[in-house]
Amino acid sequence: MDKEIIGLYLEKFNERAYRTDEIEFWFARDLQELLGYKEWRNFEKVIGRAKVACRKAGVNADDHFAASTRTVEMPKGGTKEIDDIIMSRYGCYLAAQNGDPAKEAIAFAMSYFAVQTRKQEILQKRIDDWERLRARDKLSYSEKVLSGVMYERGVDHRGFAAVRSRGDQALFGGHSTEEMKARLGVSPNRALADFLPTITIKAKDFANEITIFNMRKDRGLSGQVHVEHEHVKNNEDVRRVLIKRGIKPEDLPPEDDLRKLERRVKADNKRLAKDTKKIRHGGKEMPDPEF
């Protein structure tokens, strides 16, 4: 995500944060707007899923989601009382986690609420980590789909491994998967993709998607030889696009082990649930919030 965009999001999310009695919270209707949801009823569904996730994590949802009302100004003058929900930082994080991942604001919100700091550079790193994890999950999914489509066309699991390896060789300028592991210092028993930068993970995924699309479109595309030729060509085409933009996949340095990154993210989430102060107030009025 662009640095300037992160700065704009940071300003907007900070403006909507409230603090009272050392408790930091957000109103759900503000969060609805921040996350790009036009309809309150659609965002209520997101909050419902967030509450379920909260309970599944063994956390009392009432500590992070408290029913409330707000007075809002009407477009033609006057005011109106509307239902709202007071949400803790952890509650907001769960809402973002259960929101629409296609929305750009979701990527920012996931990191903003997970990292208890307002320093932009830390948020930038967290967002980059989240996007890399998401790209890796997407690659795993496209590989499963590709394997299934190939199997329908007469390519067994061993054949799929061979086709995937040839695809890597095409993408990495003639370097095999094993050679790339040695080049990046990756253990032979680990997946190469777990150490690749986001751009390369997405490149592999894109080549997979093209192969899947073309195989589904052309029912005559079957057998390991023909499927391998198709997949190699798609990886070569993706490589040409990268090279044209000055990116040589085989020369990019390795990134942090995604397994360790995933454990770190999960640890941050557990710490967030533990450290977030309760916003439940037992029906009593909250003190006037202060920015």
pLDDT along the chain (291 residues), means of 10: 81 85 84 92 93 90 87 75 88 90 85 68 75 92 95 92 94 95 94 95 97 92 92 97 96 93 79 68 44 36
Please name the residues in contact with 107: beta carbons below 8 A apart, sequence gap of 6 or more: 1, 101, 127, 130, 131
pLDDT of the residue at 286: 45
**89, 96 contact by CB (below 8 A):** no
User: Which of 186, 162, 158 minimizes the C-alpha distance to 255?
Assistant: 186
Structure confidence at residue 227 (pLDDT): 94
Q: What is residue 260's three-state secondary structure?
A: helix
What strands, in cross-sheet order, belong to the sheet with 23-27? 18-20, 23-27, 79-88, 65-73
| Neighbour-count burial of 196, counting CB atoms closer than 10 A to its CB (0-12 exposed, 13-18 middle, 19+ buried) | buried
| Cα separation, 87 vs 70, whole angstroms | 14
DSSP secondary structure code for residue 2 in this structure = -
Q: Are 289 and 20 in contact (CB under 8 A)?
A: yes
Q: What DSSP assignment string belongs to 196-236? A: S-HHHHHHHHHHHHHHHHHHHH-TT--SHHHHHHHHHHHHH
How far is it, in rounded angstroms, from Cα 168 to Cα 178?
10
Question: CA-to-CA distance for 116 and 24, rounded, in angstroms?
Answer: 11
pLDDT in the model for residue 282: 42
- The pLDDT value given to residue 283: 39
